[in-house]
Structure 1
């Protein structure tokens, strides 16, 4: 397995994974990643800002994740709970594994790579949010030591459940 920063040449492969995830959510009637989100322009911007990473198996992209060390505006207010810390944090968004590789622990592997990157930058907190009906992501987060912290609201007003993990050296 290889985990690396995404390049513009990876956009189509990343979008193929995202399209499958969007269809999977649609089939499960989960209103996440619908309405043309995320799209090519968003992924292109993620790559431009050096926030997009990919997981490869035998040279084929099978996973993708957004990792940023910029403050997430929608995380300033949290409801029905609180964050575990107020220190500098990393943010995970747009994590997806190719459906053909689901159930193999690859999301956990990507989270481990993300944690290693965070620790290398002396960042000890990772925050993430997901749809309340995206139970597989919530289970994956909890399995990997993320703690439920409360509710946040996206810029469009949609509600998301928020998690945080504190990293030890």
Structure 2
């Protein structure tokens, strides 16, 4: 495994969209039939991540095998949380969105988290209630379930946060 995480490039949009299609297939096979419908995530959203310098690809052996957005706070959908509270609501954080990978590649979540935690020790993630794979990975990697947030569309998401102690 020769895995590299780096900023995505506009020329890689076709490869990134292939990863997204594959990730949707994984979701549907695992019973998550409602997340990422209606053309989401679109090329426009990926380009928006790029414009914010928050679009990243996971490359393995020269091939794009994963994608995620790593964006600084504040995230407007995280301003209000229901039926719970954030672990830390006082310090800046980063949000990880749109984690996706090809089905034949394993350990992408761990690689993404290692990268993200090397840049910020306060990370928030949200996921669909039906996304059991993501919920399992979040808990396995130390995230704490915090409550429910609502996307700008009004869709409910389960919210998680991982706060590591500050490095000395």
Q: TM-score, normalised by structure 2?
A: 0.92
Larger fraction in helix: 1
CA deviation vs aligned residue, 1:12-33 (integer Å, no higher than 9, x gap): 1111010112233344352111
Match of 1:58 among 51, 61, 66: 61
Q: Give unmatched runs, 5+ long, in structure 2.
A: none
Give 1:71's match in structure 2, choosing from 71, 74, 81.
74
Report the equivalent of 2:129. Answer: 132
Give RMSD over aligned pairs. Answer: 1.2
What is the distance in 1 between the residues matched to 2:73 and 2:11? 25
Q: Using the alignment, how far apart are the partners of 2:102 and 2:28 within structure 1?
A: 16
Instruction: Determine which of 44, 62, 72 is the counterpart of 1:41.
Output: 44
Name the CA distance, whole Å, in 2 between partners of 1:167 and 1:147: 12
User: 2:10 — aligned with what?
Assistant: 8
Pairwise CA distance, 1:70: 3.0
Distance across 1 between alignment mates of 2:32 and 2:135:
16
Structure 1 length-normalised TM = 0.91
| Counterpart selection for 1:89 from 93, 106, 110 | 93
Uncovered stretches (5+) of structure 1, i.e. residues with no partner? 119-123
Question: Aligned pair count?
Answer: 162
List per-residue Cα deviations over 1:79-131 (Å, max 9, x = no partner): 11100011111001000111121xx222111111111122xxxxx31111000
Name the structure 2 match of 1:109: 111
Which secondary structure does the structure 1 equivalent of 2:146 belong to? strand
Of 133, 138, 146, 2:143 maps to 146
- Residue 108 of structure 1 aligns to a residue whose secondary structure is helix
1:129-149 deviations in Å (ceiling 9; x for gaps): 000110100111111111000
2:155 to 155, 158, 163: 158
